[in-house]
Structure 1
C-alpha cells in the first residue's frame, strides 16, 4: 500500500493516478452517495480542484483505496475560495451556511480538507489501515505545506477515529445533514503527534 500527495507540479510523475483518483471520487460521491456534482469522462471534480490544491491518494497495484483534497484557505479562483468559506458566504446550495460557529478563517497556516473518502470495496480487514495511511499522509502533507491546522467537514462520528490515531479534532459547528449523512465541521490540529 502506498500514499502519494499529488500536485500540479508532480502530477506528470504519477501516470494515471490523478485521473484514477477523480474516477474513485465519481464512484464514491456521484454513483454511490448520489450527490449532484460536476463530472466528465467518469471523473468528479469541482471549482476547488485547482493548482493551489493537493490531493492525497492511498493506492495499491494501480487501484485507488482512499483520498482527500487539501486546499489553502487563502486561495481564490474567481468568486470562490474554499468550500467551507464559500458555503458560509451562501455560494453553495448543497451545504448550509451556518455550518461553523465562527467566521471561516483565511490564513496561510490553515488549510481545508475536503472530498475525503475510503472506497466502499476496501475490505474490512484493511479498512482501518487504509484510514490510518490516509490520515497520516494528510497530516504529513499539511505540515509540509506549513499548516498548523486543517478544517473540514467530516461524518459526525469521525472525531472518535481521529482520537484513536492521535489527532486533536474539535467540532467547529453543529451536526448537520449534508448530502444525506450526519456531518460536522471540525478543526484538526497538526501539532499533535500521530501514534
Structure 2
C-alpha cells in the first residue's frame, strides 16, 4: 500500500518517515556506498528540507519496503544543483508542471524476486503508479529523473520507458548517469499496471502508523 507524505500531513507520520530514511540509509549508504549524509541511522539531504512529497510503499506488516521523493523544479533540485553537467550547458528545467523524482529505492533484502505482491518488481511498480497518480492529481504533466543505465532498462522493461532525455549521459562515480523524462499520464499508469498486474487502488485511505 502507498502512503504519500508531504508538508500538509507529515506531522501525522513521523515514524513512517523515519523508517523511510532508515531504508534510504541501508540502500544508498550501506549497499551502494554513495557519499551521502547519514545521522542517527537515517539518510537525509538538504532537498528533504524543501517540503517534497514522499511516496512510500508499506507491506502488510507495516514495514517500509520502497520509496521515492518528488520535488518541484521551480526551486533547488538535484538535476540543477548536483547533476547540472548532464545538461551540456543548457539551463535546468524550471516549471510548475514538472517535478523531479529522486531517491527511489526498494528493500531488496526484505523483498523477493519475481512478480508476486512482496517482490521487488511489484513494489517498484506500486511506487511508480502511486507517484504518477499523485502527480497527475496535483496538475503535474512531466517528471524528470537522474538514473543509471540499469534503471533505464528497468523502466523500459516495466512499461515505464522514458520518452526522452536531457543533455547526454556522463560518468558519475562508478556509474553512468542520464536525465530521463517521463510524462504523467493515464496511458503510462495503465502500462505499468498491465505489466505488474495491479488492478486495485494502490493508495488506500491513510492511517497513522505509530
Give the TM interval when normalised to the shorter protein: 0.7 to 0.9
Mapped partners of 2:134, 2:172: distance in 1: 27
CA drift at 1:35 = 1.4
Q: After superposition, where does 1:22-101 map in structure 2 within 5 Å?
A: 22-60=21-59, 61-75=61-75, 81-87=76-82, 95=83, 97-101=84-88
The change in CA–CA distance for 1:161 and 1:31 in structure 2 (over 3 A counts) is closer
The alignment covers a number of residue pairs equal to 181
TM-score using structure 2 length:
0.78
Tell whether the 8 Å contact from 2:86 to 2:178 is kept in structure 1 after alignment. Answer: yes
CA drift at 1:9 = 1.8
CA drift at 1:159 = 3.5
The change in CA–CA distance for 1:175 and 1:192 in structure 2 (over 3 A counts) is farther
- Runs (5+) with no aligned partner, structure 2: 192-210
**Residue 162 (str. 1) matches residue 155 (str. 2):** yes
Higher relative contact order (Cα pairs below 8 Å, separated by 6+ residues): 2
Q: Secondary structure at the match of 1:16?
A: helix
CA drift at 1:149 = 0.5
In the TM superposition, what whole-angstrom CA distance separates every residue of 1:31-82 from its partner, at most 9, and x where no partner exists?
111112112110111110025310011111221111110000113xxxxx11
Mapped partners of 2:14, 2:62: distance in 1: 10
In the TM superposition, what whole-angstrom CA distance separates every residue of 1:59-115 from its partner, at most 9, and x where no partner exists?
11221111110000113xxxxx1110113xxxxxxx4x3212432111100110111
Q: Secondary structure at the match of 1:49?
A: helix
- Runs (5+) with no aligned partner, structure 1: 76-80, 88-94
Q: Would you tell me which structure has more helix in proportion to its own residues?
A: 2
Q: Secondary structure at the match of 1:177?
A: strand
TM-score using structure 1 length:
0.84
CA drift at 1:164 = 4.4
